[in-house]
Amino acid sequence: MHGEYKMPGGKLVVVDLEVRDGRLAGVQVSGDFFLEPDSALDAINRALEGQPQDADEAALAAAVQRGLGSDVMMYGLSAQAIAIAVRRAVDGDAA
Amino acid sequence: MMRTEWRDHGWQLIHTTPQSPSLHMALDDVLVHEVGAEHRPPTLRIWEWASPAVVIGRFQSLRNEVDMEAAQRHGIEVVRRISGGGAMFIEPGNTITYSICAPLSLIKGLSFQQAYAYMDEWVIEALATLGIKAWYQPLNDITSEGGKIAGAAQAHRGGAVLHHVTMAYDIDAVKMLDVLRIGREKLSDKGTTSAAKRVDPLRSQTGLPREAVIERMIDTFRQRHGLTDDVLRPDELARGEALAGERFSSEAWLADVP
């Protein structure tokens, strides 16, 4: 499953994932955003792994936020933008 | 850490013979760490390309961005860089690429948006002396009335900032669109994308040879910030070559975001 979201004034966030037993699996976030340190991408993927398939945007954004250390810096990207791309992937609205 | 100014540093210029795409990726990594460790003064490196390349951003999905079969057919090497941002399509002679490796103190207190614009003020000035009215288009583009000229990316590593930019001198848009996959969502915001954004290359805008544009850029940097001609140290080149072979041309790194 594949979802994309272009954050207004920001960059493109892409999410590829599967749903297994009602939960997100094999989550891979990608895009042309900026993220420091670069290891934060793995932390974001891990934070989304296992989330309920019906988790709403707010719950997904909160999960991403919790998974990130306070030293992480995003440019052209936000936890909410990632959450929107996840919802689009799950809902089949690749846009 | 105190904020520093350009003139607080003894800027060095590296501009050498054409090198492979994977070596360029590696040299960015080596030099930003050397500057961060204060083993080398802040450095402007102008790239010369030995072969065509697609350079994808640190966080881009290889299969979503690149048609590998088309890249192979055109003899284009696909590499992943250490900074974020979008895919760049490079043919030797068609782009002007440079890296600035600087201590983080140079951009201390600046927002990301301010830091990008600040690192390229000298380029905006150089373009102005060539008759091109260009400006910074957040988040990370240099643009002009005619269209986009360049895209920038920054990465913070080991106490230093790497700021690198690829400018379009000339472009084979047909080949580019053959190799890069451009999605619909990317087009939704501004009606354009990093790769397909109406690019107005420097060749048509200046009527000057590529070398003359580079020379003007170097002159402008030298006048504004001071600049001493330098070369890669043998140990820097050796580490770059090792990293290019072991990491930057490896399938594991290229497909790190599959």
**pLDDT, tens only, B40-94:** 999 999 999 999 999 999 999 999 999 999 999 999 999 999 999 999 999 999 9
CB-nearest to A6 from B112, B155, B188 is B188
* Residues in B touching A41 (Cβ below 8 Å): 59, 257
Coil, helix or strand at residue A84: helix
Q: What pLDDT score does B179 carry?
A: 93
- The domain total for chain B is 1
Residue B194 has pLDDT above 80, yes or no: no
* Residues in B touching A7 (Cβ below 8 Å): 189
In chain B, the percentage of residues whose pLDDT exceeds 70 is 93
Q: What pLDDT score does B173 carry?
A: 83
Task: Calculate mean pLDDT across residues B210-215.
Answer: 97
CB-nearest to A30 from B60, B83, B155 is B60
Cα–Cα dist B34/B32, whole Å: 5
Coil, helix or strand at residue A46: helix
B237 and chain A: CB distance < 8 Å anywhere?
no
Q: What pLDDT score does B147 carry?
A: 87
Any bridge partners for residue B14, and if so which? B45, B230
- The domain total for chain A is 1
Q: Do A4 and B185 touch (CB under 8 A)?
A: yes
Q: Find, among B206, B98, B72, the residue nearest to B150 by Cα.
A: B98
Q: What pLDDT score does B192 carry?
A: 46
Task: Calculate mean pLDDT across residues B195-216.
Answer: 85
Would you say residue B247 lies in a domain?
yes
Task: Calculate mean pLDDT across residues B113-136.
Answer: 97
| Chain B interface disruption, residue of A5, A7, A12, most B CBs within 10 A | A12
* Residues in B touching A36 (Cβ below 8 Å): 155-156
Residue B181 has pLDDT above 60, yes or no: yes
Would you say residue B67 lies in a domain?
yes
B27 and chain A: CB distance < 8 Å anywhere?
no
Structure ipTM: 0.96
* Ranges under pLDDT 70 in chain A: 93-95
Residue B196 has pLDDT above 60, yes or no: no
Question: What is the span of the domain harbouring residue B162?
Answer: 6-253
Would you say residue B189 lies in a domain?
yes
The single residue listed with the structure tokens 């927002």 is: B111
Cα–Cα dist A91/A69, whole Å: 29
Q: What pLDDT score does B190 carry?
A: 46
The DSSP output letter for B170 is S
Q: What pLDDT score does B171 carry?
A: 86
Chain B CA closest to residue A88: B185
The single residue listed with the structure tokens 């501004």 is: B190
Would you say residue B99 lies in a domain?
yes
| Chain B interface disruption, residue of A75, A77, A93, most B CBs within 10 A | A75
Would you say residue B240 lies in a domain?
yes
CATH code for position A79: 3.30.390.50
Structure tokens, B199: 């690019």
Q: Contact, B47 vs B165, CB < 8 A?
A: no
Chain B CA closest to residue A10: B139
B137 and chain A: CB distance < 8 Å anywhere?
no
Chain B CA closest to residue A93: B185
Chain A CA closest to residue B154: A34
Q: Contact, A43 vs A68, CB < 8 A?
A: yes
CA distance A82 to chain B (A): 13
Q: Which residue type does A79 have? A: A
CATH code for position B218: 3.30.930.10
The single residue listed with the structure tokens 């080991």 is: B158
Task: Calculate mean pLDDT across residues B32-40.
Answer: 98
The single residue listed with the structure tokens 């989330």 is: A51
Question: What is the span of the domain harbouring residue A10?
Answer: 2-91
Cα–Cα dist B197/A81, whole Å: 22
| pLDDT band at residue B144 under the 50/70/90 scheme | very high
The single residue listed with the structure tokens 């990608």 is: A30
Q: Which of residues 35-94 of A touch B (CB under 8 A)?
A: 35-38, 41, 73, 75-76, 94
Would you say residue B258 lies in a domain?
no
Would you say residue B1 lies in a domain?
no
